A and B are shown apart, each in its own frame.
Chain A
Amino acid sequence: MSGDDTGAEALLEIRDLSVVFDGFRALDGVNLTLARGELRFLIGPNGAGKTTLIDVITGLTRPAGGSVRFGGKDLVGRKEHEIVRLGVGRTFQTSVVFEELTVVENLDLAASFRRPLWALAGRRRGVSEAVRAALATTGLEELAERPARVLSHGQRQWLEIGMLIAQRPSLLLLDEPVAGMSQDERARTGELLTEIAEDHTVIVVEHDMDFLRRYASQVTVLHEGRVLTEGSVDDVSADPRVQEVYLGRAREEATDAVG
């Protein structure tokens, strides 16, 4: 591999990816290439396959066909923790943090996975650099010693993002980080994302168009398991097919809200 020309070498290459659940094609021939250092938004209506795509990259779901190459290594067939060890980290649509552990303990566990198991037999003394940085980035310093169970929904999402940063992955996959957040929290998260994207390669799943217009540059649109289109926010939101997909959804939501 000659990856020394520019920063534009492909970090993630997904080819012809298909996932089948009981005969239902959740992903159908998806291709996606992500350059090192890129911030990519992945959008699409409910059930488009966004989470499924992240699940395949991170080893949670086995694809029926296709390949996922990350930094030249094939990820398909590897176990979840092995993929994390290669440098791929993720968050979940409904955030999962360890409620019995404090905020700092959650972050510390995330930061410590490269230590050999026997080295974990010691007590944690103080706060490591990675944890300190994650605390600062997510603004959770004040809550560091609190058990994670007392956090609000938004704070939990931030803690999850913090845990992800503390892992120091080279690729971050965030599944709807602003879902269920208030306007203020969304704005904070948007800034956080921009900050993270400065020195990381990131995929963010999001289908909130406002959020997208504000923080996204490159967007990939998934629809019914396929890549509908790809490009800048302006191009994508001007695309009639995307409008169709999203307007259809907006109409559904409107009727949902009425009914």
Chain B
Amino acid sequence: MSTVVTSKDASVAPLPPGRPSWRARLQGPAVFTAVAVLALVVAPLVLEPFRLGLLAKYLVYAIVALGIGLAWGQGGMLVLGQGVFFGLGGYAMGMYLKLTEAQGGLPDFMVWSGVEELPALWAPFANPVFALAMAVVAPVVVAALLGALVFRQRVRGAYFAILTQALAAAFVILLVGQQGLTGGTNGLTNFFELFGQDLALDSTQRGLYFVVAVVLGLLYLGARQLVNSRFGRLLVAVRDGEDRVRFLGYNPATVKTVTFAISAGMAGLAGALFVPVVGIISPALLGVVPSLELVVAVAVGGRFALAGAVLGAVVMNYAKTVFSEELSSAWLYLQGALFILVMTLAPKGIIGLLRRRKEAAG
């Protein structure tokens, strides 16, 4: 056998330190606090409203990325269709906004497409609590059902990835096809106010920015807690040896379904936040390509660390803005090239490179 290593060899080999030192342990919270101060104090002070709005959008995407980091980086599930859950959340919010504006009447686009009566599906979304709850509950339920179905059948790896991608494609077709119900290709747009606040005002947008940043921060802490829990260890075990985990007495299908549902819930919440921040939700924002772009961003940032996922989403979306302003057509290729480069040369992404540099230095 080629894997045989005698215990003598192992005792000679330098072993990495066991428990991290206090300094190392405080480093995480220190970085988190620094980033929080940067996001909550510095950014709102130095960025003009337009740029702050863009940052809010990046942070919304970072929430989706966090879910991808959890499902893919920790759980090994390559989720290529998070746009579906993002969309469910976005449309739930969009429907609520449209209905408040219609003030008991029909939303504008329905009038244009000749719909005469409010569809039954829409009616409950006039209630903001219901709409917000559905933004999270609907994605969680869809993901849980899908997960329960496919993970039980031991669908995994590339098959699962393709399945989620197909779901995103099908979702777009469904949305575009139901013009009267969903606004078709145009989606839902022309929002003017949220909970009585004028969405065009800088102060409203600034407030939204704070909400997004705080939600991201809380979700990050929650996700970290989960990753460090026994469940998190189990998730990594499922990622690295699903078949072995069965013989520890756990059902990997359940572990994966729960995680997939959590990541879907995050995407849904992000979708709901995206709508007032950006002012539109449409099929083009949640199809195969946007779903894929976020996975690329997570890979670039570093999928094995939650912070990497967040970082990747912000960096890549910022890069996208810059390149779209300069040379938009090159962006797609650059993105693809970057993805290949990262996957082959630095599978742990930017975070991995940063950590390696620090280790080399210290």
Question: Which residues of A approach B to under 8 Å, CB–CB?
Answer: 58, 79-81, 84-85, 89-90, 92, 94, 96, 98-102, 105, 108-110, 112-115, 117, 120-124, 144-147, 150-155, 163, 167, 179-180, 182, 185
Contacts and interface: CB of A to CB of B under 8 A. Distances in A.
B68 to A, nearest CB: 19
Interface residues of B, number: 35
A109 B230 contact: yes
A80 B154 CA distance: 13
Among A98, A102, A124, the most chain B Cβ lie within 10 Å of the Cβ of: A98
B4 interface: yes
A146 B230 contact: no
B248 A151 contact: no
B233 interface: yes
A117 B254 contact: yes
B230 A123 contact: yes
B247 A146 contact: no
Interface string B148-176: 00000000000000000000000000000
A155 B237 CA distance: 19
Contacts of B247: 58, 80-81, 84, 89-90
A153 B4 contact: yes
Contact of A113 (B7, B225, B249): B249
A84 B231 CA distance: 19
Contacts of B236: 98, 100-101
A152 B6 contact: yes
B5 interface: yes
12 contacts: A79-B251, A84-B248, A94-B3, A120-B229, A120-B231, A120-B234, A123-B228, A146-B15, A152-B5, A152-B6, A179-B1, A180-B3
B181 interface: no
Nearest to A114: B249
Among B225, B234, B255, the most chain A Cβ lie within 10 Å of the Cβ of: B234
A108 B230 contact: yes
A81 B229 contact: no
B51 interface: no
Contacts of B237: 98, 101, 109
Interface string B230-273: 11011011001100101111110011001000000000000000
A109 B233 contact: yes
Contact of A117 (B19, B241, B258): B258
Contact of A152 (B7, B16, B229, B233): B7
B326 interface: no
Interface of B: 1, 3-7, 9-10, 13, 15-16, 18-19, 225-226, 228-231, 233-234, 236-237, 240-241, 244, 246-251, 254-255, 258
Given A117-B254, A155-B10, 12 more contacts: A58-B247, A96-B241, A98-B240, A109-B250, A117-B231, A120-B231, A123-B229, A145-B19, A146-B16, A146-B18, A153-B3, A153-B5
Contacts of A99: 240
Contacts of A155: 7, 10
B28 to A, nearest CB: 14
A58 B233 CA distance: 24
A139 to B, nearest CB: 11
Contacts of A112: 230
Contacts of A96: 241, 244
B247 to A, nearest CB: 6
A182 B249 contact: no
Nearest to B246: A80
Q: Which 4 A-B pairs have the closest CB atoms?
A: A113-B249, A145-B18, A84-B249, A80-B246
Nearest to A106: B237
A109 B15 contact: no
B360 to A, nearest CB: 20
Contacts of B233: 101, 105, 108-109, 124
A144 B18 CA distance: 8
A109 B254 CA distance: 15
A247 B361 CA distance: 60
A185 to B, nearest CB: 7
A167 B248 contact: yes
A171 to B, nearest CB: 13
A182 B249 CA distance: 31
B53 to A, nearest CB: 36
Nearest to A163: B248
A127 to B, nearest CB: 13
A112 B255 CA distance: 14
A101 B229 CA distance: 12
Contact of B250 (A90, A113, A121, A123): A113
B80 to A, nearest CB: 24
B258 A98 contact: no
A99 B239 CA distance: 11
Contacts of A145: 18-19
A146 B19 CA distance: 9
Contact of A147 (B16, B225, B231, B255): B16
Contacts of A115: 230
